[in-house]
Structure 1
């Protein structure tokens, strides 16, 4: 009875270690995790499997290859090869040069074979691991091992085939469970990411929402000076009331997309609410800000929006208010309020223009 419980116990141990690894991966993100933490943990798991053999007769059999197979399938060859270092060092320390064949077949070979089935989408976590890829890896690995074993024959040929068939079944069952476990955990991670994205994204325009903007701008303002641009679509109520809310929503989406493509790479735009947008600019130079605001006004006025002919001047236009932080760690909410005041100065001064809060003077675009 104990002989049948041993592989079950070892498999459960391996699955538990893999579950912990999944939790670590989702909590510790970044290149350091992939290139240091994951290979180290995977290598230790493989080493533990060496210390927990399933059988010793007629030859030593263990599951050292499973953690490395999972690393190669999910993260590719570099991570899989790094994962081989701990078990390889242990084998060389115990067996010396005599352990090299065992190292190549039991450790290095699984790393290369699993990497053949790796897809770049697996690394990002946005695609489920395909069970078929795992089955192909196990089948290919044991076909190669059987072919190599034909020339070495550590045990009689019938016993060697029986031993590998036994290990193939156990490995396949472990890999099926691990792939299912990974996909289930990854599904929860994706759901969490989706919820975070929805919490920080405006559903209508696809732009970040004001919640996300306040967090990003607040963190930036702690480090350096920034500028705030408040942008409002002129006469939006007339457009919305005349053509309907669907056309109004379409105008908001197109305007948001146009503004995002016009601002600088280091600038950050969000939908403030209604027909208003807000931009965080990394520049505090008034000439550069004036140039940016002018480009935004011209880009919107020149764009062939559907329904623009019903607006004054037969064009869609925007008004902008600009506020510049006097120092790092300035009050973000005060900057937004100042930009908002400057925006309404632009509105009262004829629209289709920008105004700096400091001087309260307008410039027609």
Structure 2
């Protein structure tokens, strides 16, 4: 009976190793390192499983396949096959009995079989791994071993079948435990990510809020010159008073949708507060910025043509633009300048844009 305690001990060890690996992954791994460290950790787990000797040839086996199952299911075939390199080398160095047979049956076959059930969403943690996959994979491996043994021995003994059924139960239970652990870790990660997203996202428009905008804009300004656009929805108070707050909220959602779909892909848009939005742009050329702002004003006006037919004051946007004079400019100063330019756009009649530099030129003329 002692031989039946070997897989039970190995199963407990593997669960512990899986817990440690998950913690290492959450603390240390990034996507770039995961390609290397995932097969490395999987291979080491296989070797630890192999340190328990096989109780009998082709009969009761160790759990070296289980880490490969997880690698194939979660990461796909390339990483699963890479995960077999270390245990294969260990088998060859340790002069294991029937070495090539064990490599094919307990390493390569599990890598190929488990990879069939791989989904890329399992890797990034956005989708839980179904428990049924563990039962399917273990069953296929069980049938494969019976088939291979039948071809080699020509007659299956009840002792062998009983051993394999015992291993099927141990492997399935351990595999299910590993999947549950991974799914629980992913749920915790998704919950944390959702909380972070909610903290950095405006609940009404689903745009980033000012809290998330400021550090991103500061980091960008530390590297290069950038421009800030302050964008304000014209006549919003009148519209809100006329149609109510629910319609006003819907108007804010609509304008955020328009802006989000017409800004440049590399630019960053956030809700500043109320009916104001703030845009961080890598464009610093005044002419191109003018064309950019003009296009945003036009698209906003076009989007609200149907609403403007029913109101005395049209729904449009006004924009104020400020460009950093050099890298590492003060973000708060840029926002102040863009805000002053926005006020000038409002004063000039709305549905237009103003560069802060134009205000400086105008002030110089007035002072002269």
Q: TM-score, normalised by structure 2?
A: 0.92
Whether 1:335 and 2:331 are equivalent positions in the alignment is: no
Deviations 1:75-115 (A, max 9, x none): 11111111111101111222389521210111000000101
Change in 2 beyond 3 A, CA 1:168/1:54: farther
Secondary structure, aligned partner of 1:232: strand
Contact 2:228/2:322 (<8 A) preserved: yes
Work out whether 1:221 is the aligned partner of 2:197.
no
Is the aligned partner of 1:349 residue 2:340? no
Partner of 1:243 in structure 2? 243
Preserved contact between residue 153 and residue 160 of structure 1 (Cα < 8 Å): no
Aligned to 1:211: 211
Aligned residues: 361
Give the structure 2 partner of residue 317 of structure 1: 316
1:128-207, aligned counterparts within 5 Å? 128-153=128-153, 157-207=157-207
Q: CA deviation at 1:60?
A: 5.8
Quick one: distance in 1 between partners of 2:305 and 2:137? 54
Q: Which residue of 1 aligns with 2:364?
A: none
Q: Encode CA deviations 1:15-58: one digit per residue, 9 max, x unaligned.
A: 01111222233334543333101110011001110012473578
Contact 2:149-2:156 at 8 Å conserved across structures: no
> Contact 2:42–2:68 (CA<8 Å) still a contact in 1?
yes
Deviation at 1:212, TM superposition (A): 1.1
Cα distance change on mapping 1:39 and 1:282 into 2, 3 Å? same
Q: After superposition, give the CA deviation of every residue in 1:158-210 in whole Å (9 maximum; x if it has no partner).
A: 33212211211110110111111111111101101111111111110111111
Contact persistence 1:201–1:208 (CA under 8 A): yes
What displacement does 1:120 show? 2.4
Residue 154 of structure 1 and its aligned partner are, at CA, apart by 11
Asked if 1:261 corresponds to 2:261, the answer is yes
- CA deviations on 1:98-136 (whole Å, 9 max, x unpaired) are 521210111000000101111222122111110011100
- For structure 1, the 5+ residue unaligned runs are none
Task: Please say which of residues 188-197 and 58-67 is displaced more in the overlay.
Answer: 58-67
Q: Conserved in 1, the CA contact under 8 Å of 2:42 and 2:67?
A: yes
In structure 2, stretches of 5+ residues that fail to align are 362-368
Distance 1:157 1:120 in 2: 41
| Structure 2 match to 1:107 | 107
* Secondary structure at the counterpart of residue 345 of structure 1: helix
Q: Secondary structure at the match of 1:322?
A: strand
Cα pair distance change 1:186/1:318, threshold 3 Å: same
What is the match of residue 365 of structure 2? none
Partner of 1:301: 301
CA distance in structure 2 between the aligned counterparts of 1:29 and 1:265, rounded to whole angstroms: 28
User: How far apart are 1:151 and its partner, in Å?
Assistant: 2.1
SS of 2:205's equivalent in the other structure is coil
